[in-house]
A and B are shown apart, each in its own frame.
Chain A
C-alpha cells in the first residue's frame, strides 16, 4: 500500500515538473515579448545588459568571471587621494603636456615608436618571469620567442618584428597581476604622486618589478646611466599618457571617479584574460 503511494507520488511529481517548467517558460516569453515597452523597468534585463560578460567570453580573450563583473570600490582615503589627484592634474597639464609637445616636435614619430619598442623589449624578462609565476608556461614561451625575434631581427628591439605573428603576442603580465592570481586582493585604491592611479597590491607589485628588472641588476651600467635610461623611457611614453589623461578628463563627468573606475576595470580585465 505504502509502496503504491510512493510510486503514485513519484509519477505525479514527474508529471508536474515539466508542467511547471512550461508555465515558467511562458512567463519568460511574455516578459521578453513586451520588452519593447517595459525594458526600462526590468531590473533583471538591466543586469544582463550591464554584466553580459557571459556572451562576451572569447570575444577579446577575456575569461568569464563568476562575480558577474561588478567591481567593488574600496577607497578609504578618498579625500587624500583627491588632493593628490588635483596636484597631479596641475603637473600633467602645466608641465607634462608642454614637455610632451616639445618632445614630439624634436623626436619624429618613427623614433618614438622605435624607442617604445626598445624599452618594451628590455622588459621581456620581467614578463617572462611573471608568466612563469602564474603558471602560464605557454605564454612564457611565447614571450621568450618574441624577445629573441625582436632582439635579433628587430635590431635590439627597435622594431617590433613579432607584431605580425599572433602566437608571439601574449598579453603583458606584471607582478600586480601575479599577486592577484595568487588570490591577493587589491587593497585600498591609491593615487600616487606623478604616477597616478594604483592600489596597494599593484604598488607593491611595481616595487617588486623594479627590483627584478634585469636592467637594475646589471652592474656594468652606472646608477646615473640607469636614471637616464629610466628618464628617457618616461619621457618617451609621456605624450601618449598625457593624451590619454586629457581625453579622460574631457569626457568625464567627474574625472576622479572616472579614472578610478577605468583603472579598476582595466586591471580586472588584465588579471582575467
Chain B
C-alpha cells in the first residue's frame, strides 16, 4: 500500500516537472512575444487602473525588469557610440551603458504606460541568419493602418534585442547619429554629464501621472 502511494507520488512528480519548469523562449519570435505578452499583462492589471505616483513607479519597475532581460544593452551601447567607443575608459563605458539604458527605459516605458489602450499586436514572421535574426510585428491601431515594427536580435546565451525599427527608422542608427555628432566636437565626460542631467529630469517625470 505504502509502496503504491510512493510510486504514485513519484510518477506524479516526474510527470509534473515540465509544468513547473520555466517556459524558455527558443526562437527569436518567441523571444519577442513572451516578454511583450508579459508587459501587456502588467499594463492590463486592474491593480494599476487608478495610478498613483507610487503605483506607477511599481508598474514601471516591473516592466523594466522584463525589458532589461530582453535587450543587449552592452551591444547597443557599443554600437551607438561607434568608433568613439575606444575613447571611453572602462569606467566611462560602464557608466555610459547604465545611463543610456536608463534613458531608453525612462522614455519608452513611461510612454507605453501613458498611452497603452489595449492595442493588438500581431507577430508576423521571423528571419534567422546565423547569429542574427529579425522579427516583424504589427501594432494594430484603431485609427489607421497597422504600424510595422522590426526587432533585430543577436544570439548570445539566448536571443537578445539590439535594435528596433519603426516605419523603417532604426532607433540604434538614430542614437548613433546623435552621439557621433556630439563626440565629433566634445569629450566623453561632457557626454556623460549631459546624459546624467537629462536622466535626472526624466526620473522625476516618470512618476507624474498623465491626465
A39 to B134, CA, bound (A): 18
Q: Which residue of A lies closest to B154 (CB)?
A: A49
A73–B156 contact, CB under 8 A?
no
Knowing A253-B178, A253-B195, the reply to whether A32 touches B169 (Cβ < 8 A) is no
Knowing A48-B132, A59-B150, A258-B174, the reply to whether A250 touches B202 (Cβ < 8 A) is yes
B130–A32 contact, CB under 8 A?
yes
111-167 of chain B: CB within 8 A of chain A = 111, 125, 127, 129-132, 134, 136, 142-145, 148, 150, 152, 154, 156, 162-163, 165, 167
A73 contacts across to B, CB distance below 8 A: 177
**Is A219's CB within 8 Å of the partner chain B?**
no
Q: Which residue of B lies closest to A259 (CB)?
A: B174
A265 contacts across to B, CB distance below 8 A: 168-170, 173-174
B179–A253 contact, CB under 8 A?
yes
Number of A-B contacts (CB under 8 A): 114
Return the contact of B178 from the options A46, A109, A169, A257 (Cβ within 8 A): A257
- What's the interface size class on B, roughly? 35 or more
- What's the interface size class on A, roughly? 35 or more
Q: Which residue of B lies closest to A249 (CB)?
A: B107
**Is A224's CB within 8 Å of the partner chain B?**
no
A258 to B104, CA, bound (A): 14
A253 to B182, CA, bound (A): 9
B111 contacts across to A, CB distance below 8 A: 247, 250-251
B75 contacts across to A, CB distance below 8 A: 39-40, 49
**Is A252's CB within 8 Å of the partner chain B?**
yes
**Is B194's CB within 8 Å of the partner chain A?**
yes
B198 contacts across to A, CB distance below 8 A: 253
B79–A46 contact, CB under 8 A?
yes
**Is A222's CB within 8 Å of the partner chain B?**
no
**Is B181's CB within 8 Å of the partner chain A?**
yes
A55–B134 contact, CB under 8 A?
yes
A36–B156 contact, CB under 8 A?
yes
B174–A261 contact, CB under 8 A?
yes
Interface residue ranges, B against A (CB under 8 Å):
74-75, 78-79, 82, 85, 103-104, 107-108, 111, 125, 127, 129-132, 134, 136, 142-145, 148, 150, 152, 154, 156, 162-163, 165, 167-170, 172-179, 181-182, 194-195, 198, 202, 205
11 A/B residue pairs, CB under 8 Å, sorted by A: A49-B79, A59-B134, A59-B136, A62-B168, A163-B145, A247-B107, A250-B111, A250-B205, A251-B108, A258-B174, A258-B178
